[in-house]
């Protein structure tokens, strides 16, 4: 009985507990479903807001983006081929042709050149308006060689444009149309934008006017790509295709932070990597183009190269931060300031040194005649010098780096100094010594090793890096560089094809 009485009194308590647990579980499940639905709704709303941001950028920026069509007249000499049907002789006789035209090539038909004919070549690109009175920023490779430039606005109006100035070294150009009260695209600060930020590209790929693509900044400071002499590209994964050249790369505030210029592609189409000229560089160039129609750059008169770990170790340095001076030209601003071959530049105008390309850009943008402080490491000790920036001579670079052909060869050279001769065990030679060879490069495959002395390039003696680079640079980009190399006691010729 006692057990039964206990049981009877326990049942209501047990039942109430189960009921409460079920209620709590139901409430938790309901709460989780509600929170999940709320989170889902917030995610969708966030995406909507992101989409609206892109839409707002497009609506504000597109009127200032223009379609550019260019025309060029080229002379083309055509030829007509004359030959008798197989097995028949010429109705005029072979003597007739030989008398007037000489003997034909073996097995080849005779060719008669006609007068040159004119052909109209049409191209297209993009640009963006930077002033209400019609100045437009675009690429040099879009308008540089054009005989006629036509600009079409988003509202359908067309204008014949005048080329104000072009700069092939940076691939920047300015054109102008004769009208007023135009929509203007604000220019931002390319130094402030960071890797990972959203950007928008607007242009006319394949002639499809005012096409918008979206991506992020995937890298900054890209140089040594081979697109221009002065490179500091913003890399983006926003889709860029033929026809986008000269169009703006825009941040979420609707400001141009770059000018779309090139793509990395093995097919000619978009493959996920595009390059834009930083707007800060483009601004400095366009100001000079508008004022004078040309660009004047700063000049030091040095050959430079990146300081690798191997070179840093050879020079007794603890790290490889800085730029190595491979050559200092006679009577140059650098020589007058006291810079010497073998110095390592670690600071220029109050800022640390990056890669060769970035340093060259900084020198080029300095006004000739201005004075800057430069800090170098010489024999492991810091030394501060004051240098007056010179004016860049025609055909030279502000601070010469590696010629494109030399990059293809895959080797680094220095003038053979007594110190380097002792380091590599070389005596009594005059030329340039190979200090580094890129793995799997043309030089590496040809068996060229560090320590080899290059005596001649293309049958011309070279005694320093300046002569070596000049001769290499004169070789066609798809040609053969012939080197006379002495490695140990033996000399040999090496032919490196740069195709």
Average pLDDT, stretch 459-480? 79
Using pLDDT thresholds of 50, 70 and 90, give the confidence band for residue 473: confident
Portions of the chain given CATH number 2.40.10.120: 29-76+116-294
User: Would you tell me which CATH number, out of the four given (2.30.42.10, 2.40.50.140, 1.20.1090.10, 1.20.58.220), belongs to the domain 404-497?
Assistant: 2.30.42.10
Residue 3 has a CB neighbour count (10 Å cut-off) of 7
Higher pLDDT, 197 or 428: 197
- List the catalytic residue out of 170, 210, 245, 251: 245
Residue 108 pLDDT exceeds 70: no
Percentage, residues of the chain above pLDDT 70: 79
User: What confidence score (pLDDT) does residue 260 get?
Assistant: 95
Portions of the chain given CATH number 2.30.42.10: 298-391, 404-497
Are the C-beta atoms of 181 and 175 separated by less than 8 Å? no
**How far, in Å, CA of 322 to CA of 378, rounded?**
12
Name the helix (H) or strand (E) containing 287: helix 279-292
- List the catalytic residue out of 141, 169, 170, 237: 141
Query: Does the annotation count 171 as an active-site position?
Result: yes
Distances in Å between the Cα of 365 and the Cα atoms of 123, 284, 323, 386, 397 are 31, 7, 18, 17, 12
User: What confidence score (pLDDT) does residue 300 get?
Assistant: 92
User: What confidence score (pLDDT) does residue 419 get?
Assistant: 67
Residue 472 gets the label, from left (phi > 0), alpha (psi -120 to 50) or beta, of alpha
DSSP letter assigned to residue 57: H
- The highest-confidence range among 52-66, 99-113, 345-359, by mean pLDDT, is 52-66
**How far, in Å, CA of 330 to CA of 325, rounded?**
14
Which residues have C-beta within 8 Å of that of residue 426, sequence separation ≥ 6?
416, 420, 433, 451, 453
Distance in angstroms between the alpha carbons of the first and the last residue of the chain? 105
Give tens-digit pLDDT for 358-392. 888 889 889 899 999 999 999 888 999 999 999 98
**How far, in Å, CA of 89 to CA of 410, rounded?**
56
Q: Is the dihedral of CA 86, 88, 89, 90 positive or negative?
A: negative
In sequence order, which ranges of 62-158 are alpha helices (DSSP H)?
94-101, 140-143
Query: Does the annotation count 89 as an active-site position?
Result: no
Using pLDDT thresholds of 50, 70 and 90, give the confidence band for residue 425: confident
- The highest-confidence range among 126-135, 323-332, 335-344, by mean pLDDT, is 126-135
- The highest-confidence range among 147-161, 264-278, 324-338, by mean pLDDT, is 147-161
Using pLDDT thresholds of 50, 70 and 90, give the confidence band for residue 172: very high
Mean pLDDT of the chain: 81
Are the C-beta atoms of 234 and 217 separated by less than 8 Å? yes
What is the value of pTM for the model shown?
0.66
Are the C-beta atoms of 212 and 201 separated by less than 8 Å? yes
| Residue ranges with strand state E in 205-329 | 211-222, 233-236, 248-250, 256-263, 274-278, 298-299, 302-306, 323-328
User: What confidence score (pLDDT) does residue 150 get?
Assistant: 96
User: What confidence score (pLDDT) does residue 464 get?
Assistant: 81
Residue 81 pLDDT exceeds 50: no
Using pLDDT thresholds of 50, 70 and 90, give the confidence band for residue 485: confident
Q: What would the two tokens of residue 453 be?
A: 């002395």
Are the C-beta atoms of 212 and 54 separated by less than 8 Å? yes
Are the C-beta atoms of 257 and 251 separated by less than 8 Å? yes
Which CATH homologous superfamily contains domain 298-391? PDZ domain (2.30.42.10)
- List the catalytic residue out of 167, 169, 170, 171: 171
Query: Does the annotation count 245 as an active-site position?
Result: yes
CATH number of 29-76+116-294: 2.40.10.120
For the chain, how long is the longest CA-to-CA vector? 142
DSSP-derived secondary structure for 5-34: HHHHHHHHHHHHHHHHHHHHHHHHHHHHHH
Are the C-beta atoms of 57 and 250 separated by less than 8 Å? yes
Of 134-143, 213-222, 302-311, 339-348, the range with the lowest mean pLDDT is: 302-311
User: What confidence score (pLDDT) does residue 438 get?
Assistant: 84
């Amino acid at each position: 009985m006692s057990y039964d009485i206990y049981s009877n009194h326990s049942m209501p308590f047990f039942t109430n507990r189960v009921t409460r647990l079920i209620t709590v579980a139901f409430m938790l499940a309901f709460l989780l479903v509600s929170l999940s639905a709320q989170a889902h709704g917030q995610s969708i709303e966030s995406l909507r807001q992101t989409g609206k941001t892109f839409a707002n950028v497009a609506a504000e920026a597109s009127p200032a983006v223009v379609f550019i069509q260019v025309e060029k007249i080229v002379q083309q000499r055509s030829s007509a081929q004359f030959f008798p049907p197989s097995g028949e002789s010429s109705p005029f006789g072979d003597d007739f042709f030989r008398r007037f035209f000489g003997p034909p090539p073996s097995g080849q038909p005779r060719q008669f050149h006609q007068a040159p004919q004119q052909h109209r070549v049409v191209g297209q690109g993009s640009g963006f308006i930077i002033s209400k009175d019609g100045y437009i920023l675009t690429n040099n490779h879009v308008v540089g060689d054009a005989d006629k430039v036509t600009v079409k606005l988003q509202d359908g109006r067309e204008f014949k444009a005048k080329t104000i100035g072009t700069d092939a070294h940076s691939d920047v150009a300015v054109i102008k149309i004769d009208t007023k009260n135009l929509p203007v695209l604000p220019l931002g600060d390319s130094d402030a934008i960071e890797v990972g930020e959203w950007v928008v590209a607007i242009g006319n790929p394949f002639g499809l006017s005012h096409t918008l693509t979206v991506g992020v900044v995937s890298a900054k400071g890209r140089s040594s790509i081979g697109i221009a002499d002065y490179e500091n590209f913003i890399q983006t994964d926003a889709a860029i295709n033929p026809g986008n050249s000269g169009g703006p790369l825009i941040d979420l505030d609707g400001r141009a932070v770059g000018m779309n210029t090139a793509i990395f592609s093995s097919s000619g189409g978009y493959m996920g990597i595009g390059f834009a000229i930083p707007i800060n560089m483009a601004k400095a160039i366009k100001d000079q183009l508008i004022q004078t129609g040309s660009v004047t750059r700063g000049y030091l008169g040095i050959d430079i190269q990146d300081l690798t770990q191997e070179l840093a170790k050879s020079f007794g340095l603890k790290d490889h931060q800085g730029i190595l001076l491979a050559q200092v030209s006679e009577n140059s601003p650098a020589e007058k300031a006291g810079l010497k071959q073998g110095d390592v530049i670690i600071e220029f105008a109050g800022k640390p040194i990056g890669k060769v390309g970035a340093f060259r850009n900084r020198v080029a943008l300095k006004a000739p005649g201005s004075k800057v402080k430069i800090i170098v490491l010489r024999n492991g000790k810091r030394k501060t010098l004051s240098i007056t920036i010179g004016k860049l001579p025609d055909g030279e670079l502000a601070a010469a780096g590696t010629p494109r052909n030399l990059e293809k060869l895959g080797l680094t050279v220095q003038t053979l100094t007594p110190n380097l001769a002792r380091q590599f065990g070389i005596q009594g030679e005059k030329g340039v010594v190979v200090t580094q060879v890129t793995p799997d490069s043309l030089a590496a495959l040809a068996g060229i090793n560090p320590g080899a002395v290059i005596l001649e390039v293309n049958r011309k003696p070279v005694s320093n890096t300046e002569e070596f680079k000049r001769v290499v640079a004169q070789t066609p980009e798809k040609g053969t560089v012939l080197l006379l190399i002495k490695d140990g006691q033996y000399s040999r010729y090496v032919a490196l094809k740069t195709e």
